[in-house]
Structure 1
Amino acid sequence: MFKSILAVLGGAAVGVFTIGLVQYLGHQWYPTPGNLSLDDTQAVGSYLATAPTGALLLVLLAYALGSWFGGMVGARYAPAKPVVHALAVGLLLMLSGIANLLVIPHPLWFSIVSLLVYLPMAFFGGMMSSRRIP
């Protein structure tokens, strides 16, 4: 039980780190306006409504890669049922994504696609990692 919890939490940590890293790189390509206060959720929401599509696609890529790598780590260190552990990682990341969508208003298409990304990518990461390589 303890190994399962550590596998899922470790996978989620790797997923969050990957999401943060890819979003950091995305901000280098698509910098936010200098006068945008990130503490003001309404201002961030109105910026997201007019944000370049490429910037939002990079955020979706961050979610996909984070779920994939997180699922791989969760499955790799799971004592049994690696794909179930990978899906648990994807579920944790999806719950944090839902919290983000509730706090900051996003475009509708982005909200729908982002919710469809987490679990399948975690599943694929878990399937890739479930083949035990010493």
Structure 2
Amino acid sequence: MKPIIRNILTVVMGIFLGSLVNMGIITISGHIIPPPDGSDVTTMEGLKASLHLFQPKHFIFPFLAHALGTFFGAAIVAKISTDHKLKYALGIGVFFLAGGIANIIMLPSPVWFTILDLAGAYIPMSYLGGLLGIKQFNKK
């Protein structure tokens, strides 16, 4: 397979698998830390309307979902891509950062969470995932 085709497929796979990790964590989060009483988290409108009821503990799993989804996607890309491994891993971070920005626009959250999420969950985690993918997974 040509390296460019492999790299493109790898990036698509990293986005897909990182998104699966993200959604998996979001899906289980309500079972571990239940949403506040009286909140409807099944729809975007219900979530917006009840966001004022959320305590800091309710933001733990969304942050973990964003960080670990990005980390996992970047690690996979760094492991499988043929060259420029860290650049592709950081590209995963930029992709998920764009999604995080869109999420903040659609679903306004507390300022502290916005700053923490945008500054800590995407580019730093893609960098760390990229390093892990390069150093750990590619050992012979």
TM-score clears 0.5: yes
Please tell me whether residue 106 in structure 1 is matched to residue 106 in structure 2: no
Structure 1 residue ranges without an equivalent (≥5): none
RMSD: 1.8
Please tell me whether residue 63 in structure 1 is matched to residue 59 in structure 2: no
Could you give the per-residue CA deviations for residues 13-66 of structure 1, whole angstroms, max 9, x where no partner exists?
Answer: 11111111111221112333566264353x422422321211202211111111
List, as ranges, runs of 4+ consecutive aligned residues in structure 1 with deviation greater than 6 Å: none
Q: Give the Cα–Cα distance (whole angstroms) in 2 for the partners of residues 46 and 106 of structure 1.
A: 11
Q: 1:125 aligns with which of 120, 124, 129?
A: 129
- Contact 1:9–1:89 (8 Å) recurs in 2: no
| 1:24-43 correspondence to structure 2 within 5 Å | 24-32=27-35, 33=37, 36=40, 38-41=42-45, 43=46
Please tell me whether residue 49 in structure 1 is matched to residue 55 in structure 2: no
Q: Give the Cα–Cα distance (whole angstroms) in 1 for the partners of residues 68 and 109 of structure 2.
A: 20
Structure 1 residue 8: deviation in Å?
1.2
**Corresponding position of 1:2:** 5
Q: Give the Cα–Cα distance (whole angstroms) in 2 for the partners of residues 66 and 40 of structure 1.
A: 21
How many residue pairs get matched?
133
Could you give the per-residue CA deviations for residues 45-96 of structure 1, whole angstroms, max 9, x where no partner exists?
Answer: 2422321211202211111111111110111111101111110111111111
Partner-residue secondary structure (3-state), 1:130? helix
Q: Give the Cα–Cα distance (whole angstroms) in 2 for the partners of residues 52 and 28 of structure 1.
A: 16
Report 1 or 2 for greater relative contact order, CA contacts < 8 Å, sequence distance ≥ 6. Answer: 1
